[in-house]
């Protein structure tokens, strides 16, 4: 990805966070160019990989004063907010341990996943202070790692 294209993508990303349209940005600039099928579930996007029995949920949630939360509270609140989506995924045969929830907000990008070694849900912060170019690159890298991102528009 060229530097100019990256800057354009990053500016769109930041703008969509501040406008509250991050899910539209993800659909148009990340999922569509990669031919990723998704379900719109109200305030969430659900990507179901039936072949590998996995699901990826994108949510725009803002945790005010994130420093006041411990990881357990963040996990519980995130999972509670996307409970309906996870329930639908179970109907499709995807266990709750095979869901990864990406959360994007004004001050944080993180994901909640089931850690097999710890046998519990875990939160992994891409950033918990400020969304900047470095955290955006890490977010894109994580999407590439799980097979969602191949190219951007």
Per domain, the residue ranges of the chain are 36-145
Angle between helices 71-81 and 83-91 (to 10 degrees): 60
Asked if the model's pLDDT at residue 62 lies above 80, the reply is no
CA distance 96 to 55: 9
Q: How many residues does the chain have?
A: 153
Tell me the pLDDT tens digit for each residue of 34-61: 889 999 888 899 999 888 889 999 998 8
Do 84 and 41 meet the contact criterion of CB atoms below 8 Å apart? yes
CA distance 45 to 26: 9
3-class secondary structure, 1: coil
pLDDT of residue 151: 60
Mean pLDDT taken over the chain: 88
Do 71 and 111 meet the contact criterion of CB atoms below 8 Å apart? no
CA neighbor of 101 nearest in space, from 55, 150, 132? 55
Please state the pTM of the whole predicted model. 0.89
pLDDT of residue 12: 95
CA distance 40 to 103: 15
Asked if the model's pLDDT at residue 115 lies above 70, the reply is yes
Query: Quick one: 27 exposed, middle or buried, by C-beta within 10 A (0-12, 13-18, 19+)?
Result: middle
């Amino acid at each position: 990805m060229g530097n100019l294209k990256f800057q354009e993508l990053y500016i769109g990303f930041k703008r969509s966070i501040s406008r509250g349209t991050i899910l539209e940005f993800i659909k148009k600039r990340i999922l569509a160019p990669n031919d990723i099928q998704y379900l719109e579930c109200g305030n969430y996007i659900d990507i179901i990989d039936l072949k590998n029995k996995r699901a990826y949920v994108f949510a725009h949630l803002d945790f005010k004063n994130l420093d006041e939360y411990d990881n357990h509270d963040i996990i519980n609140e995130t999972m509670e907010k996307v409970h309906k989506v996870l329930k639908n995924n179970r109907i499709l045969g995807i266990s709750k341990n095979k869901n990864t929830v990406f959360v994007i907000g004004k001050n944080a990008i993180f994901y909640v996943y089931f850690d097999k070694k710890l046998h519990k849900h875990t939160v992994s912060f891409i950033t918990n202070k400020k969304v900047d170019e470095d955290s955006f690159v890490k977010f894109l890298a994580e999407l590439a790692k799980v097979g969602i991102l191949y190219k951007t528009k």
